[in-house]
Each structure stands twice: as C-alpha cells, then as structure tokens.
C-alpha cells in the first residue's frame, strides 16, 4: 500500500474533479484499513495479556516461565504497535505541537 498524498483533496493543475475524488477515497481507505488493523492488534494484545494474567499460564514453572515472559513482551508490543497504527504520525513531529 502506498502512502496517502500530503494533501489528498486538493486539486493540482490539470486534474478533474473525479480524479481528485478518487484520490480522497483512496487516502480515506488506507487510513481506515490502517486503523482497523491497529484496533485488531490492540485487541489481540489485550486478550493475550489478560489470558497471561488470569489464565493457566500462572501455573507454568521452570523454563515455561520464559515462554510466559516472551508472550507478555509480545502482547505489550502488539498493544504499542496497534496504538501507533491508530494514531499514525508519518512525519514524526508529534512533539512539535507539545513544544509550542
């Protein structure tokens, strides 16, 4: 999937209204799919973390503790990655608004 254009709904010179509308719909679709993927990743991460906290892995002993630890790290990564997909900042200037 390509990145959405910087100004998806502004008509450059020589473009018809139909071409601009198609660009706007493509950008909205990419954003919607990315956010849906983020919600799915966060839900999976939260479900895995809840299973680790309240389910049978509490009784795992020996080397299985390391598997439980790795699953906990993976669920934390899924939650973080899902949040980044939902609140995507391609330029990485999110701190600029806070600094002002």
Q: Considering the entire predicted model, what is its pTM?
A: 0.65
pLDDT: which is higher, 62 or 89: 62
Whether residue 49 is predicted with pLDDT greater than 80 in this model: the reply is yes
Whether residue 9 is predicted with pLDDT greater than 80 in this model: the reply is no
Q: What is the DSSP string of the chain?
A: -PPPPSSTTS--TT--HHHHHHHHHHHHHHHHHHHHHHHHHHHHHHHHHHHHHHSGGGG--TTHHHHHHHHHHHHHHHHHHHHHHHT--TT--HHHHHH-
Residue 58's pLDDT band (boundaries 50, 70, 90)? confident
Average pLDDT over every residue of 62-88:
94
């Amino acid at each position: 999937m390509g990145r959405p254009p910087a100004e998806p709904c502004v008509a450059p010179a020589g473009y018809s209204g139909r071409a601009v509308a198609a660009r706007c719909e493509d950008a909205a679709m990419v954003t919607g799919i990315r956010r849906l993927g983020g919600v799915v990743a966060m839900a999976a991460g939260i479900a895995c973390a809840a299973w680790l906290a309240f389910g049978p892995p509490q009784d795992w002993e020996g080397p299985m503790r390391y598997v439980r630890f790795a699953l906990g790290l993976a669920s934390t990564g899924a939650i973080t990655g899902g949040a980044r997909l939902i609140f995507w900042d391609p330029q990485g200037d999110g701190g600029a608004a806070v600094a002002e």
